[in-house]
Chain A
């Protein structure tokens, strides 16, 4: 009698185990499949125009075949550069502020706003940048686009920085202070250095997200069919090209939109590899 019960429990446990394992496996597949499909279609459709021209030539006028998107590739890099140039220092410094001095009402307010901001639709951020930069300057510009991307990045970077700094054990800060290192140097060169890897991941996520945004660029950086690296002028970007080319009634434009998407994915991959390389730890 006892033996049978034992066996029953045993088999039930085994069965539960198998069922749960299958469920997690299926869930994992469900996660991977769309990713794989996105990648598969982008490569399949985008491969046609993926050649040297795409990286070296400007877009051709309507009806003329060939051409490339070198202006959009450079434009996207410039936009990420401006966005990161503003967003990374502001985000990191406010993250440091929150973790070091944020245990008051003002800190709670900043934290709350950062959380709210990270949920705001990116098109709204575009409107904000339009009001802040485009209207006073009276024309669209790369700068306005960069500001929009910076605003999008800041909450992520702020909160990641704060959380990563908070994860650094208090004992390292104490060790620094006990060595006669001043408070700010301890925060910067010991605590921040220890948290740096995690923060870098947050920055990368922020940059990658910004690189993939279209909406906030539509009425800030606008877009540009010509070569421009002037940050006070409208600038081309891969995302805006994808948006325009994919809804255009020309087959070759649609195909180039796929190529632009493929190049964007590649760009972000390269960006994260470079980041991983820069922030690799020695140990």
Chain B
């Protein structure tokens, strides 16, 4: 639960957006457009008999950051995991509707191929415990047949630099991945994801298990990464959503309630329920 202080802080932040900016955000935002990188239409997802997503339609513009917010259990993770076909690995799961990546049906592609193009970072940092830092980053490439040492080295360094971890680990690449701090581990997981050069990165509460300093590092990173990648991030932290994202989707009880530019969402949400959630009145 968030403290009163945090809520006050957030409200202060919200009120500093100048009126001029607010009015300039006249809504020409299209929540579902075929021109976007990822398009989801009428997604219904189930765990056995439990329905976790109800008719969710939204699309994700290329090179943008989309934040997904909503109370626990509202289907944020399920939505994320239906994008890279991780939902289907859970026994008894089912999904209907259509999801496309660059206008190609994700569910017609090979799942392994989809996951190479759409990477994922999990809530709890999960570096492979029996692998070194280097091997953690190289894992995706190595296991898909890349053998050239020089090329692997190059990719590992580039990915670690992109994940803002290189300077901290460059002298200890052969150390265990789990010897790092939690925040470093999460950046290692981001580097590991970047190494297979995805186009889209899904992040499921990537900073919720981290301290404030590590969190701000991850946020800076997201800001850098969006120049090259399309990012979807689930977060419980309203300020984080406001800081890092271009667009915000609010989920509630498995449905998409409101989806708009982040500025609009946080200044003048259309629905009362969105406003209540954003200002911390419920959830």
Contact = CB atoms under 8 A, between A and B. Distances in A.
Report whether chain A binds chain B.
yes
Interface of A: 103, 169, 171-172, 174-182, 185, 189-190, 193-194, 196, 281-283
Interface of B: 84, 86, 89, 91, 112-117, 119-120, 122, 124, 126, 128-132, 139-140, 143-144, 175-176, 178-179, 189, 192-193, 196
Contacts of A171: 122, 124, 126
Nearest to A181: B143
Given A282-B132, A283-B176, A181 B126 contact: no
A249 to B, nearest CB: 56
A182 B89 CA distance: 12
B126 to A, nearest CB: 4
> Is chain A's interface secondary structure helix, strand, loop, or mixed overall?
helix
Contacts of A172: 126, 128-129
Given A171-B124, A194-B128, A282-B132, A179 B91 contact: no
Nearest to A175: B126
**Residue from A172, A177, A179, A182 whose CB has the most chain B CB atoms within 10 Å:** A179
Contacts of B143: 176, 179, 181, 185, 189
Contact of A179 (B124, B131, B139, B175): B139
Nearest to A283: B176
Contacts of B128: 172, 175-176, 190, 193-194
A169 B130 CA distance: 13
B234 to A, nearest CB: 14
A103 B91 contact: yes
A266 B139 CA distance: 40
A283 B135 CA distance: 13
Contacts of A182: 112
A107 to B, nearest CB: 13
A281 to B, nearest CB: 7
Contact of A180 (B91, B178, B196): B196
A181 B136 CA distance: 13
Given A169-B126, A194-B128, 13 more contacts: A172-B129, A175-B126, A175-B189, A176-B139, A179-B116, A179-B139, A179-B196, A180-B144, A181-B112, A189-B143, A193-B131, A194-B129, A283-B130
26 contacts: A103-B91, A171-B126, A172-B128, A174-B126, A176-B143, A178-B115, A178-B119, A178-B120, A179-B119, A179-B139, A179-B140, A179-B143, A179-B193, A180-B113, A180-B114, A180-B115, A180-B140, A181-B112, A181-B140, A181-B144, A182-B112, A189-B143, A193-B130, A194-B129, A283-B176, A283-B179
Contacts of B112: 180-182
B76 to A, nearest CB: 16
A196 B130 contact: yes
